[in-house]
């Protein structure tokens, strides 16, 4: 696996695919610069070697049309602030204007190209567009894990124009290594904690990781499909009736492979889906009519704690309750605490997937686990066992 450490960029222009698809407020200020911070080490390495950096990214979904609200010029000040280097901007990403801006770039300088998705060819994976982009750098660096599952011109097709001059940036290399630890190289016991509302969205992940894990913790809304499938009463809890057979099949597969599955034994039930609802702790197999399970119960958390603290490799994908409401956040916070404790004791912990990443940030666990993935969809597809086109293009 070639990474940015395999190259010296002295006198070279690095064409870096970053993921600067960041949120902006009404005044076009960046409200969360995590993705920019994540790309910083790669960009700084190029500059410290004595090279210059040409950055390309998308922002939003302009659908192949120029849209002033989604121009990357809005990011220039924030990227300059994060890098500590004044970032230049060019209002094009291909063609004469872009090529001129790159030609004038001096050692130690950074140039940000305009939004790639102002061109429909980007998402179509158009080869001619990728070739135009390839003229803007000597070495191609992919550091955009968040888009590595898309075979777009700038993430995949472009790599063929850089035979042996292509590599992963630090961020993408870290993402690949983190997933490798879960799927192949991690120390046992390996535990996967899967939460979220639906079994249907996690099926392929569950089926793919059953060969890799020793323990599977099921939490969140998925719980109730498994419980109802086993004859339990779930009241008004979220439940996918059409996935009950599948839930039973997953349990059979797990048993056949020697994987211990841990499903909640009690839950915090509420008489309404709101933060001020009446609540009670109930047996998960006997949730009363008119009540719904919204968080893991105390006995459940004790069981989960024991499993997590014995684990050496941990994947957390999905909350175990409706953590957005304070009354039902205790279970998710407790899971975070257990993972932090296990990490402090030497376990490797990977958190990925939109809601669990949001939870670790909200509750201050971000710097206390081993790795927080930046790529929601890309990480999920990796866990499903798919080879991501953006990664395959560099390895090819």
Name, in order, each residue with C-beta under 8 angstroms of 161's C-beta and a sequence gap of 6 or more: 130, 131, 134, 140
**Annotated binding-site residue? 17:** no
**Any known ligand binding at 175?**
no
20 marked among binding-site residues: yes
Q: Does 164 carry a binding-site annotation?
A: no
Calpha distance 254→276 (Å, rounded): 38
Residue 172, annotated as binding a ligand:
no
Tell whether 58 is in a known binding site.
yes
385 annotated as ligand-binding: no
Say if residues 140 and 15 touch (Cβ distance below 8 Å): yes
Distances (CA, A) of 11 to 7, 121, 300: 12, 30, 59
In whole angstroms, how far apart are CA 111 and each of 3, 209, 295?
A: 22, 41, 48
SS3 for 268? Answer: strand
Is 353 annotated for ligand binding? yes
Spatial distance between the Cα atoms of 251 and 225, rounded to a whole number of angstroms: 12
Task: Give the DSSP letter of residue 197.
Answer: S
Residue 356 annotated as binding? Answer: yes
The residue behind tokens 């913790």 is 217
DSSP H stretches of helix in the chain: 34-49, 76-83, 96-103, 120-124, 127-134, 170-180, 203-209, 222-229, 244-256, 298-310, 330-344, 354-362, 376-383, 389-395
Q: Which of the residues are catalytic?
A: 35, 198, 354, 377
DSSP 71-122: -GGGGHHHHHHHHTSPEEEES-SSSHHHHHHHHTPPTT-EEEEPPGGGSHHH
Is 355 known to sit in a ligand binding site? yes
Please state, in angstroms and rounded to a whole number, the distance separating the CA atoms of residues 191 and 279.
30
Strands 279-283 vs 87-90: parallel, antiparallel or unpaired: unpaired
**Annotated binding-site residue? 184:** no
**Ligand-binding site membership of 346 (annotated):** no
Helix (H), strand (E) at residue 347: none
**Which amino acids are annotated as binding site for substrate, given as ranges?**
19-21, 35, 58-61, 117, 150
**Which amino acids are annotated as binding site for (2R)-3-phosphoglycerate, given as ranges?**
35, 117, 150
**Which amino acids are annotated as binding site for ATP, given as ranges?**
202, 293, 324, 353-356
**Which amino acids are annotated as binding site, given as ranges?**
19-21, 35, 58-61, 117, 150, 202, 293, 324, 353-356
């Amino acid at each position: 696996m070639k990474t940015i450490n395999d190259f010296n960029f002295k006198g070279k222009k690095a064409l870096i695919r970053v993921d600067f698809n960041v949120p902006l407020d009404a005044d076009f200020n960046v409200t969360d610069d995590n993705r920019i911070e994540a790309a910083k080490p790669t960009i700084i390495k190029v500059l410290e070697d004595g090279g210059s950096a040409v950055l390309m990214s998308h922002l939003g979904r302009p659908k192949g049309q120029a849209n002033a609200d989604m121009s990357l010029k809005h990011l220039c000040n924030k990227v300059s602030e994060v890098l500590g280097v004044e970032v230049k901007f060019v209002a094009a990403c291909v063609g004469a204007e872009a090529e001129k801006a790159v030609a004038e770039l001096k050692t130690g300088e950074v140039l940000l190209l305009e939004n790639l998705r102002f061109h429909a060819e980007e998402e179509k994976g158009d080869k001619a567009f990728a070739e135009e982009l390839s003229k803007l750098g000597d070495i191609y660096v992919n550091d955009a894990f968040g888009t590595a599952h898309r075979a777009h011109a700038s993430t995949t097709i472009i790599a063929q124009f850089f035979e042996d001059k292509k590599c992963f940036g630090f961020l993408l290399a870290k993402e690949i290594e983190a997933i490798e630890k879960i799927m192949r190289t991690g120390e046992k016991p390996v535990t996967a904690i899967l939460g979220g509302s639906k079994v249907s969205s996690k099926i392929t992940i569950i089926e793919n990781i059953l060969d890799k894990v020793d323990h599977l913790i099921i939490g969140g809304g998925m719980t109730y499909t498994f419980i109802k499938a086993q004859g339990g009463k779930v009241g008004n809890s979220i439940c996918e009736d059409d996935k009950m057979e599948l839930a039973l099949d997953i349990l059979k597969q797990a048993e056949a492979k020697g994987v211990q599955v841990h499903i909640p034994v009690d839950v915090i039930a509420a008489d309404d889906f709101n933060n001020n609802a009446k609540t009670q702790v109930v047996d998960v197999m006997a949730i009363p009519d008119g009540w719904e399970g919204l968080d893991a119960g105390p006995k459940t958390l004790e069981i989960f704690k024991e499993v997590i603290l014995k684990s050496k490799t941990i994947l957390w994908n999905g909350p175990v309750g409706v953590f957005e409401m304070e009354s039902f956040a205790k279970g998710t916070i407790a899971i975070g605490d257990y993972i932090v404790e296990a990490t402090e004791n030497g376990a490797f912990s990977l958190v990925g997937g939109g809601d669990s990443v949001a939870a670790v940030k909200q509750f201050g666990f971000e710097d206390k686990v081993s790795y927080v993935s930046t790529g929601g969809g890309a990480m999920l597809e990796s866990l499903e066992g798919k080879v991501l086109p953006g990664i395959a293009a560099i390895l090819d």
